[in-house]
């Protein structure tokens, strides 16, 4: 165990912040939070806050990147310098480049890219405050911002993290669990078809533990989806749901 770690992260089935093993932090989702962007959204898991903006479809430069058959989705993830206790140096890092790539790939699954040949759809995500699961919050905000921009999509993307702390499989890793837990496992799914569009694991899990974690993350993604749907409905109240 690392230095400075608390003795236990789970005491009598309760986590340090009082949550149960399968309990998520408070979720907040809002859309249309920025005026200049074509679409925008805010998503929060407890103290983790993400803000996403969509610009496009718009002309894609440089031209050689243009695809005559479809639009190119470009997602950029960035952390505000003040989002963490240790100031984040502005600019790209290896971490932000990797996260941007996997977010781009996850979003490319759900957008009808064939509708906009040669175009670019830019999705920018700013992490305003980081307390674990920033990539999940980023993706949840990004999917909502795309929907807010009116971009045709097959489905939303809903994301949350499962993990392993003190030997227990838990949902929505946060706070000290992120620093001293054993496993962090962000998952993103298309909520209707339950296709997994993002999956990462940092840490050791048995096959059984993994299956349990995946099942838990699935439940978490459903909860995220409900919050996303509610945010969309709040703004577009006149739209009937066909489910």
Least distance to another protein from the beta carbon of 226, Å? 25
By CB under 8 A, tell whether 82 contacts another protein. Answer: yes
Between CA 80 and CA 89 the distance in angstroms is 9
Least distance to another protein from the beta carbon of 126, Å? 6
Between CA 168 and CA 181 the distance in angstroms is 10
By CB under 8 A, tell whether 34 contacts another protein. Answer: yes
- Smaller CB separation from another protein, 66 or 96: 96
Residues 6 or more apart whose CB falls under 8 angstroms from that of 161 comprise: 132, 133, 136, 171, 172, 173, 184, 185, 186, 187, 217, 220
Q: Which region holds residue 168: left if phi is over 0, alpha if psi is between -120 and 50, else beta?
A: beta
Tokens of 237: 């109240």
5-13, 120-128, 160-168, 230-238 -> range binding another protein (CB under 8 A): 120-128
By CB under 8 A, tell whether 37 contacts another protein. Answer: yes
Tokens of 178: 């992120």
Least distance to another protein from the beta carbon of 38, Å? 8
- Smaller CB separation from another protein, 16 or 196: 16
Q: Are 146 and 174 in contact (CB under 8 A)?
A: no
Q: Are 35 and 27 in contact (CB under 8 A)?
A: no
The single residue among 71, 119, 130, 213 that binds another protein, judged by CB under 8 A, is 130
By CB under 8 A, tell whether 176 contacts another protein. Answer: no
87-95, 197-205, 208-216, 234-242 -> range binding another protein (CB under 8 A): 87-95
Query: What 3-state class would DSSP assign to 171?
Result: strand
Q: Are 143 and 156 in contact (CB under 8 A)?
A: yes
By CB under 8 A, tell whether 150 contacts another protein. Answer: no
Least distance to another protein from the beta carbon of 18, Å? 17
Sites of contact with another protein (CB under 8 A): 34-37, 40, 47, 49, 51-53, 55, 58, 76, 78, 80-87, 90-92, 122, 124-126, 128-131
């Amino acid at each position: 165990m690392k230095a400075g770690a608390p003795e236990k992260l789970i005491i009598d089935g309760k986590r340090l912040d009082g949550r149960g093993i399968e309990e998520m932090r408070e979720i907040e989702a809002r859309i249309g939070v920025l005026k200049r962007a074509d679409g925008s959204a805010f998503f929060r898991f407890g103290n983790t806050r993400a803000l996403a903006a969509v610009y496009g479809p718009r002309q894609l430069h440089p031209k050689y990147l243009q695809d005559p058959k479809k639009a190119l989705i470009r997602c950029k993830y960035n952390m505000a310098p003040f989002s963490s206790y240790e100031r984040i140096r502005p600019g790209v890092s290896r971490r932000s480049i990797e996260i941007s790539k996997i977010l781009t790939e996850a979003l490319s699954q759900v957008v009808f890219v064939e509708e906009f040949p040669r175009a670019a759809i830019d999705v920018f995500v700013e992490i305003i405050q980081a307390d674990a699961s920033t990539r999940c919050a980023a993706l949840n905000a990004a999917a909502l911002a795309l929907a807010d921009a009116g971009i045709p999509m097959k489905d939303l993307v809903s994301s949350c993290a499962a993990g392993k702390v003190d030997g227990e499989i838990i949902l929505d890793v946060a706070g000290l669990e992120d620093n001293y837990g054993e496993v962090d496992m962000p998952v993103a799914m298309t909520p209707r078809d339950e296709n997994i569009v993002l999956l990462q694991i940092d840490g050791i899990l048995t096959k059984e533990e993994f299956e349990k974690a995946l099942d838990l993350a699935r439940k978490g993604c459903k909860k995220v989806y409900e919050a996303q749907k509610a945010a969309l409905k709040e703004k577009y109240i006149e739209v009937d749901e066909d489910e």
